[in-house]
Amino acid sequence: MEHKAPEYFLSLWKLASSSRLMAMLHGGWGEGGTEGSQGQFPLTQNVTVVEGGTAILTCRVDQNDNTSLQWSNPAQQTLYFDDKKALRDNRIELVRASWHELSISVSDVSLSDEGQYTCSLFTMPVKTSKAYLTVLGVPEKPQISGFSSPVMEGDLMQLTCKTSGSKPAADIRWFKNDKEIKDVKYLKEEDANRKTFTVSSTLDFRVDRSDDGVAVICRVDHEALNATPQVAMQVLEIHYTPSVKIIPSTPFPQEGQPLILTCESKGKPLPEPVLWTKDGGELPDPDRMVVSGRELNILFLNKTDNGTYRCEATNTIGQSSAEYVLIVHDVPNTLLPTTIIPSLTTATVTTTVAITTSPTTSATTSSTRDPNALAGQTGPDHALIGGIVAVVVFVTLCSIFLLGRYLARHKGTYLTNEAKGAEDAPDADTAIINAEGSQVNAEEKKEYFI
């Protein structure tokens, strides 16, 4: 096939020459020929394709009088002359051929295919149009380096993300906890093929315990990725000393109640079983103070449990502790409910007084309880009723005493008035007469006592 190639290109050259001749004959020479070729211009567009993709090169002519069209590559090799393939390249295929359009496709495009392609319209003179084929280099999947596990809290970490093969140079961005980190270093280097680039970015930061388990992401953005960036991820492992906190089961411990103290410890590696102490020494009562895992369970509290309890947690990085001051409070006294006598409750007191000539006075007192009183009322009810009865008896006795004294005085005054007039008589007869006169006067002056 190779020895026929010159003949093949020679036939194409003859065909092109005949096309030029026909164009001259059809257009004529001079002014007429110029008018015939006016409006015949090939139109092309630049094309951008991703490496490995397929590029479509299209050449159009709005007004064409059967003049041939031709596509040639950056090396000025003819690819297609009208519908006839000139270059033996299986990647190049005819898409459409007519007097108004010539379109070809180039599949599996490589970086070497990039350049300026020419569409020629064989008029007199030949008219051409250029189309630039841009091939985008796809960046390789990024790689993160510089991480050594584990990292101690407070250390300075330096991570580097690198990607090669991008054209133009790719952009690298860093994210931690979905938040972009701006303060990074960026380096771009040209590859050996002098077409693509290797891009690297370095991230420096000091780690702490909050970075443990965090994903650091390196993201590569490039127009060849069709808005789907490539990412590399590194999960951080940070070792740190334990953090300790004591949590009581109740905020107000009381005597006789149980109490659980929980030692909450966090660290990496995970802390070993915790150590409980009281006032700097061992727990004084192991029977009541039971340690279960990270919990200290005091079965029932008393005043001797007052003191400072300490929880210590240790891992391979270091040791940490927390303290809890226990104050056992007294159990509050439970007050008995006070019984209030309803307003409808009454107390009836009956008093009988007998007055005799004897100086001795007797009093009999009886009381009747309210039938509505509650059966459970004992102490406070008796005291109240007893007080009422005592007051009534005292008032009664005072009334009797005053009444008796008043009656005694009134009787003496009555007898004295009857004898009035007899005291001044010289002898008995006169006294009797005066007494009788007094009785007569007494009928005139009658004194009534009610």
Min mean pLDDT across 106-110, 178-182, 335-339 is at: 335-339
Q: Which residue has the tokens 């139109």?
A: 43
Q: Is the pLDDT of residue 9 over 80?
A: no
Q: What percent of the chain has pLDDT over 90?
A: 59
Instruction: Give the per-residue pLDDT at 410.
Output: 65
Q: What percent of the chain has pLDDT over 70?
A: 72
| Alpha-carbon distances, residue 221 vs 70, 110, 139, 228 (angstroms) | 38, 21, 9, 8
287-320 pLDDT, tens per residue?
999 999 899 999 999 999 999 999 999 999 999 9
| Alpha-carbon distances, residue 386 vs 343, 361, 389 (angstroms) | 18, 22, 5
**Mean pLDDT for the chain overall:** 79
Q: Is the pLDDT of residue 167 over 80?
A: yes
Instruction: Give the per-residue pLDDT at 334.
Output: 62
pTM flag (> 0.75): no
Most confident listed range (257-271, 326-340, 393-407): 257-271
Instruction: Give the per-residue pLDDT at 426.
Output: 61
Mean pLDDT of 173-192: 93
Instruction: Give the per-residue pLDDT at 36.
Output: 43
pLDDT band of residue 406 (cuts 50, 70, 90) is: confident
Mean pLDDT of 81-91: 94
Instruction: Give the per-residue pLDDT at 227.
Output: 80
Instruction: Give the per-residue pLDDT at 424.
Output: 57
Greater model confidence, 379 or 58: 58
Most confident listed range (232-246, 342-356, 401-415): 232-246
pLDDT band of residue 264 (cuts 50, 70, 90) is: very high
381-390 pLDDT, tens per residue?
677 888 898 8
Instruction: Give the per-residue pLDDT at 423.
Output: 54
Instruction: Give the per-residue pLDDT at 296.
Output: 95
417-436 pLDDT, tens per residue?
445 555 555 655 565 565 55
Q: 152 has which bridge partners?
A: 239
